[in-house]
């Protein structure tokens, strides 16, 4: 079971990342808990400088851009 967090204050790019992640999870039947972290103080605890960021099982995997489906899949499979 993957623990996924999406860090972002709610701009267009952050929403786009959430969509990509949801599509990948559905298409590949991957089980995961998805949490959106929008509170800036909480986001800062992850020490990222550019949002949106994708955190998988406590590790920051992608930051500062909207990933492609392949990138998300690769992150989830490792």
Partner 1 sequence: MFGWLEQLADGLVYQVFKLDANDHLAEALHFFIYDSIKIILLLILVIFFMGLVNSFFPVERVKNYLTSHNLFGFEYLFASLFGVVTPFCSCSSVPLFIGFVRGGISLGVTFTFLITSPLVNEVAIGLFIGLFGIKTTLIYVSTGILLGTISGFILQKLKLESLLTPWVQDLMKEDRNLDNHFLPVKISFSKRLKSIFKEALIIIKGVLPFVIIGIAMGSFMHGYIPEGFFETYLQKDNWFAVPIATLLAVPMYSNASGMLPVLQVLVSKGVPLGTAIAFMMGVVGLSLPEAMLLKKVMSFKLIAIFFSVVSICIIISGYLFNIFL
Catalytic residue numbers read: 11, 14
43 binds partner 1 (CB under 8 A): yes
Could you say whether residue 15 binds partner 1 (CB under 8 A)?
no
Confirm or reject binding of residue 77 to partner 1 (CB under 8 A). no
DSSP 51-68: SSEEEETTEEEEESSPPP
Size of the site for partner 1 (CB under 8 A): 31
Q: Are 52 and 66 in contact (CB under 8 A)?
A: yes
3-state secondary structure of 19: helix
Structure tokens at 33: 């808990």
Q: Which of 6, 14, 24, 37 binds partner 1 (CB under 8 A)?
A: 14
- The binding site for partner 1 (CB under 8 A) comprises 8-14, 40-41, 43-44, 46-51, 58-68, 71, 74-75
């Amino acid at each position: 079971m993957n623990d996924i967090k999406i860090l972002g204050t709610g701009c267009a790019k952050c929403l786009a990342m959430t969509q990509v992640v949801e599509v990948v999870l559905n298409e590949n039947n991957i089980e995961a808990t998805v949490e959106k972290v929008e509170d800036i103080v909480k986001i800062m605890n992850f020490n990222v400088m550019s949002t949106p960021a994708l955190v998988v099982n406590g590790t920051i995997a992608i930051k500062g851009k909207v990933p492609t489906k392949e990138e998300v899949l690769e992150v989830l499979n490792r």
